[in-house]
Amino acid sequence: MYFKPKKIVFNSLLKKVSFDIIKPHQQNLNKELIIQLKKEIKEEGLLCPLVININNKLIDGHHRYEAIKDKC
């Protein structure tokens, strides 16, 4: 399943990649925030994309990643 952001500000910088190749690295995550994000993403969609570097390491969006990983 692909969660496309509703509003794309920098279309030339966005690239669709397989969810399986993203490498998260943050350990301490706020579980309450993840639950809240799951509800928001279900209702509104993914409003902000995940940010990865050229090595597919997750730079920004660890909580969003956790919120959507069960759906992918």
The pLDDT tens digits for 8-44 are: 666 567 778 899 999 999 999 999 999 999 999 999 8
Given this model, what pLDDT does residue 65 score?
A: 96
Given this model, what pLDDT does residue 9 score?
A: 61
pLDDT at 51 over 60: yes
User: Count H helices, E strands: the chain?
Assistant: 2, 2
**What does the block give as tokens for 3?**
């969660």
pTM of the model: 0.78
C-alpha span between 28 and 7 (Å, rounded): 29
First CA to last CA across the chain, in angstroms?
5
Given this model, what pLDDT does residue 72 score?
A: 65
